[in-house]
């Protein structure tokens, strides 16, 4: 399958070549991994921004937490209470500034 041609700066081309040599991958593989990493980074930035917006509205955040708790109390289909699967991580309801301050202590 022929790869499309894209233009990149000379610096990016040199970095791609260096990364390809260091990893034993092709430049196309390095670009593919870089694009996927950037796509994931943007996804999580947007998700975090959405949660920050939700947290900024106390009524909406309380409703979200109530829904989350309601869903968390349900069992997977066909399983009894002694065979629960892995649980989702707890949602941190602190503001990002408070969470950051706690991590710095």
DSSP-assigned states of every residue in 55-94: HTSHHHHHHHHHHHHHHHTSPPTT--TTS--PPPPPP--S
pLDDT category of residue 24 using cuts at 50, 70 and 90? very high
Overall domain count for the chain: 1
Q: Answer yes or no: is 51 within a domain.
A: yes
pLDDT of residue 69: 83
Q: Answer yes or no: is 4 within a domain.
A: no
- Residue 49 is part of which domain span? 24-71+94-105
Helix/strand/coil for 3: coil
Q: How far apart are the first and last CA of the chain?
A: 53
The pLDDT tens digits of the residues spanning 43-77 come to 999 999 999 999 999 999 999 999 888 887 766 66
Q: Answer yes or no: is 17 within a domain.
A: no
Q: Answer yes or no: is 86 within a domain.
A: no
Q: Answer yes or no: is 6 within a domain.
A: no
pLDDT of residue 86: 58
On average, the pLDDT of the chain sits at: 83
Q: Answer yes or no: is 15 within a domain.
A: no
* Inter-CA distances, 39 with 7, 42, 98, Å: 19, 5, 28
Q: Answer yes or no: is 57 within a domain.
A: yes
Q: Are 30 and 16 in contact (CB under 8 A)?
A: yes
Q: Please say if the pLDDT value at position 98 is more than 70.
A: no
Q: Are 27 and 42 in contact (CB under 8 A)?
A: no
Q: Answer yes or no: is 67 within a domain.
A: yes
């Amino acid at each position: 399958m022929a790869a499309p041609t894209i233009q990149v700066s000379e610096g990016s081309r040199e970095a791609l070549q260096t990364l390809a040599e260091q990893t034993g991958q092709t430049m196309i593989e390095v670009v593919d991994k870089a694009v996927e990493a950037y796509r994931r980074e943007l996804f999580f930035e947007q998700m975090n921004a959405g949660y920050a917006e939700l947290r900024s509205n106390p009524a909406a955040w309380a409703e979200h937490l109530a829904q989350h708790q309601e869903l968390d109390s349900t069992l997977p289909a066909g399983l009894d209470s002694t065979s629960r699967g892995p649980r989702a991580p707890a949602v941190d309801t602190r503001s990002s500034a408070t969470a950051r301050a706690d991590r710095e202590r």
